[in-house]
Chain A
Amino acid sequence: MRIVESEGIIVFEILNSVDRPLGSDEKLTVANPAAKAVACNAQGVFKNKGIMEINKTAIDFGRNISKVLTT
């Protein structure tokens, strides 16, 4: 999977997922990188983070945890 951002549009390029045969790539386009929480009267809501921020935080965490687990 690759994630590409251009002018506020996020495109997920999903390659060869298990439920599709090899070679049948797919693109998922998302227009709203920091979406709205579902209900303002909820007893708790998660922060609305942008997709690229979510992706970068996950990369950093993955790197750190791999370093910790393999040493």
Chain B
Amino acid sequence: MLYLENENDDYANVLASIDGFSDGLGIKDLDIDLNEVAHVLKSMRHQFPAQGGSEMASPFKKAANFLCYFVSQQPIKNPFPESSVGSILVQITNHQNSMLGLYIAFDALHEATIKRNDGDITLHNKISLSKHSYVDTVQACAVLTPSSHFHLVSVFLEQMCYRANPEASYKIAF
């Protein structure tokens, strides 16, 4: 879904996600800066802050890098209305990019495959959150930047995936 062989396929998939998500929220008009979307997808691939680059990274690191760039570049220009996201999230600056970035990262991680020495593991279960945790997560992610938050977000996504897919976790050591 992301980091595909052809960068244009990433672009199409992200636009399809933005279109569907906003449609589901009941939003008719959404201002999308297409240049920023393209910039996000280039940056996440070519400025990958982990050894081996994106080609050798886990899906958690890939999703984290996408999320950090998406939120910091802010390709969605207008906030979502209160009628779609409620009275709490509407007050959070940049909630629209945080919500969409999180959605795309979560959807990408669903059915992602982790390649390990002991075999491949697929994340069959989606990340799921309570309303309370979701609101807190959107707020926390609304200020992400790649340089400051990539590693923390990567661990955060990894742990949420492990909660939904306990068999995918490495053996608990302590």
Please give the residue numbers on chain A whose beta carbons come within 8 Å of chain B beta carbons, in ascending order.
1-3, 10, 12, 14, 17-19, 28, 30, 32, 35-39, 41-49, 51-52, 54-66, 68-70
Contacts and interface: CB of A to CB of B under 8 A. Distances in A.
Interface of B: 1-6, 8-9, 11-13, 15-26, 30-35, 54-60, 62, 77, 83-86, 88-89, 99, 103, 107-116, 131, 134-135
A37 B88 CA distance: 38
A40 B3 CA distance: 12
Most B C-beta atoms less than 10 A away, residue of A2, A37, A44, A60 = A44
Interface of B (DSSP majority class): helix
A58 B8 contact: no
A46 B3 CA distance: 8
A25 B35 CA distance: 15
Contacts of B103: 58, 61-62
Contacts of B88: 69
A58 B21 contact: yes
A32 B10 CA distance: 11
Interface of A (DSSP majority class): mixed
B13 A51 contact: yes
A57 B20 contact: yes
Contacts of B55: 38-39, 41-42
A69 B101 CA distance: 17
A10 B19 CA distance: 14
A70 B9 contact: no
Contacts of A45: 3, 59, 112-113, 115
A60 B20 CA distance: 8
Given A54-B16, A54-B20, A68-B131, A43 B4 contact: no
Nearest to B34: A17
B57 A42 contact: yes
B112 A44 contact: yes
